[in-house]
Structure 1
């Protein structure tokens, strides 16, 4: 059976690659489960200094798999796992990111993208809301900019995503951009990295403690609503939903 998340290690950096290009690395129940297992192993392995999360194909992640979506609590758990992992997690993006995929980026400690990458919160266009992914996003991004892109579903380029705080940095060659980052992590003491990460993620975890139950329930309710059924059907049929004003 083809693994949906592949693993490789170079000089103490574990690279986890989302490898489901046929559905644009959509967050299926299976992919979320495999990624959670890989993160657990990396977190427990003393030979791992940092984790890089990347992808095959032209899309980092298209968001929730509409044919096999994970339970909202599974996505909530995955995002919290990334944030609580005692190793820094670095996103490497060379393609597009949509909807729930942006939650993965926000949960990562550092995110770098190529200049060809694009980003969009497409939830409102299929009748749902960016509920669970707001847990890491709201504490880490510019609120005025986020309001625009949450409400409209417009695309952002890499420069706008950097300004908004969706990603840390971007460049024509994402590997060249990340080279000094990974070099710095390799030179850092493991315990110091873990404690420094705890300082940086404290506010994000406060949001999880306060809002996770409510936003998980909201996500479940919206995904089962009539508007979501119409929106997802329209998306799969490549047509406008009934509410679209032409």
Structure 2
């Protein structure tokens, strides 16, 4: 008996629809899920009948971030760097639709997509800072795509915010009722034109990845190995405040 896929895919009128389908761990970015997602992105890029990709999800969470239980603190940051890089360099636009919780590294995945939209059920939070960590790798696309001043607030405080605020600060492009129009526009666009335009629109993100990804990956590992982070994670698992919370 084979395991059920973690990423389901089908094509809808020139749009490759990729659905994160691992609700048991809130669509966490395990090596297995990232492997399937990367394979699906590669297939979409190679298919001349596909104009763009739509990334969506099952369950009440779009993505909860890295799956540290499965992959450990040393592998997780590199896996996220690789996924963000693959989306940024894909020759076809990637649209994302979130209608559930987006947390930690999941915000890096969402921000890496070219046109993210979100529904009323979506909520967002960079939870790392409250655990003695930082949104190191996730910040790569976030600080390019969102307003840096607004992003700094949420990166530093760990506050949760809603779709209206995510749209206001530029983390999300639009509410999900704009999705049909966005996909219609992509279907009407030239493959060559889309590839060339995406190369333009991702230039700053690709530059930031090249210049900062390795340092941020190493920072993430150092923080996870610290005693303060160990206490923060332990407090979260025990559903109590860490000693620094006032």
| Matched residue, 1:62 | 64
Does the alignment pair 1:43 with 2:48? no
| 8 Å CA contact retained: 1:73, 1:216 | yes
Aligned ranges for residues 200-239 of structure 1 at < 5 Å?
200-239=201-240
| 220-229 or 96-105, which deviates more | 220-229
Aligned ranges for residues 65-214 of structure 1 at < 5 Å?
65-69=67-71, 70-170=75-175, 174=176, 176-214=177-215
| 135-144 or 222-231, which deviates more | 222-231
| 8 Å CA contact retained: 2:111, 2:145 | yes
Structure 1: runs of 5+ lacking an equivalent? none
Deviation track 1:201-234 (CA, whole Å, cap 9, x = no partner) reads 1111111111111111111111222222222222
- Counterpart pick for 1:34 among 11, 36, 60: 36
Q: What TM-score do the two structures reach when normalised by structure 1?
A: 0.94
Structure 2: runs of 5+ lacking an equivalent? none
Deviation at 1:59?
Answer: 0.7
Deviation at 1:116?
Answer: 2.1
| 8 Å CA contact retained: 1:6, 1:16 | yes
Q: Hey, what's the Cα distance between the residues in 2 that align with 1:155 and 1:102?
A: 12
Deviation at 1:42?
Answer: 1.3
Does the alignment pair 1:2 with 2:7? no
Deviation at 1:7?
Answer: 0.7
Q: Hey, what's the Cα distance between the residues in 2 that align with 1:234 and 1:31?
A: 28
Q: What TM-score do the two structures reach when normalised by structure 2?
A: 0.94
Q: Where in structure 1 do 4 or more consecutive aligned residues deviate above 3 Å?
A: none
| Matched residue, 1:241 | 242
| 8 Å CA contact retained: 1:66, 1:232 | no
For the aligned residue pairs, the C-alpha RMSD in angstroms reads 1.3
